[in-house]
Chains A and B, each alone.
Chain A
Amino acid sequence: MKTRVGYFRNARYTFKFIRELSSFIIALYSIYLLTLLYYYHMTLSDAILAGPLQMVLAIIALVFALIHSISWLYLMPRIVKVKVGGKELNINLVFGLLILIFLIITTIILVILI
């Protein structure tokens, strides 16, 4: 007799599984975008905005992308310890800095594009 811990043991495990799966969902969305660009000869703007379906898919992809990005930035300081002047920085501080970098990069990209 054995009880197995699976992906859906409790809410936290389920969220972590969704997080794991989210990267694949975003990959599928990217392939979908490429299909629109190549197979249907759409322009980039049409591929993202062509119709309600494309917009809904883009929003779903965005939600999953944000879940995955923020959780990855949360995990990064746990793998690579950051040292300043020989002293290890607090993990949560590094996470905060990574989020700041993420927001800055996002803002720069948006400013350039807009």
Chain B
Amino acid sequence: MTEAKIFVRRYDPETKKSWISEYNVPVEGDTMVLDALVYIKNKIDRTLTFRYSCRMAICGSCGMVINGRPMLACQTKVAEIRTPIVVEPLYNFDVIKDLVVDMDVFMHYLKEMKPYIIRKEEPKEIIVKSEQQEPIINPSACINCMLCYAACPVFGYDQTFKGPAALSLLYRYLMDPIDQGREERLKIANDKDAVWKCSFWGECSNACPKNVDPAFNIQRMKLMLGLSSLK
């Protein structure tokens, strides 16, 4: 068993002070950064605060910046990244404490996308073929980890931008074969703070741990709106 040096950016909301804490953590070949943080909290420093839950890249809770890149701590092996490891809270979000960020703005934008099936009538049965489901499989993989927001320079400068995950969610429902809210959703996409603020940096797609391609989804919606504006 070897030791890894981990630096963690801390923040105390009461004193409004930020500092870097240094820890030495015993690690093995398959130790994840999350395991190291849990070890720190249990054995070294109980004040360290961070979010986590499933430990298997499904819940999206442990999103943080590791060595300058937004990543999931449960999915990042200590042995596979450069040491010493520097762990920071997600960029572009207000920090509540240590590695915990305020998710309110993100949650607000998700709700604005109307993330539910809109139906005008309710038939007894809807048969959906697998090829009809194909366009929604990729955007449905989103785990709301907010890594894409932490990677997006547009959201960094302008927090009124709805952001990659919310718009990707909008695209998912737009492409859903049983959804009947196309007009409503295109109106949401056409908002000045929605797809038109995306500059297609593509860093959101680079950061996504589930290989969702929010950049593509947003450009597809731009194309849909562009072509429909010609009619």
Contact = CB atoms under 8 A, between A and B. Distances in A.
Do any CB atoms of chain A lie under 8 A from CB atoms of chain B in the complex?
Answer: yes
Interface of A: 1-7, 9-10, 13, 16-17, 20, 75, 78-80
B105 to A, nearest CB: 11
Interface in B129-159: 150-153, 155-157
The DSSP consensus for interface residues of chain B is mixed
Interface of B: 11, 16, 18, 65, 68, 88-89, 91-95, 150-153, 155-157, 199-203, 213, 215-216, 219-220, 223
Contacts of B91: 2-5
A75 B201 CA distance: 10
Given A75-B202, A79-B223, A5 B216 contact: no
Given A9-B153, A13-B153, A1 B16 contact: yes
Given A16-B201, A75-B200, A79-B223, A5 B215 contact: no
A8 to B, nearest CB: 9
A2 B219 contact: no
Nearest to A17: B153
A111 to B, nearest CB: 34
Given A2-B91, A4-B156, A75-B200, 6 more contacts: A3-B65, A3-B91, A4-B91, A5-B152, A78-B215, A79-B219
A7 B213 CA distance: 21
Contacts of B89: 3
A3 B151 CA distance: 11
Contact of B156 (A6, A10, A16, A17): A6
Contact of B94 (A2, A10, A78): A2
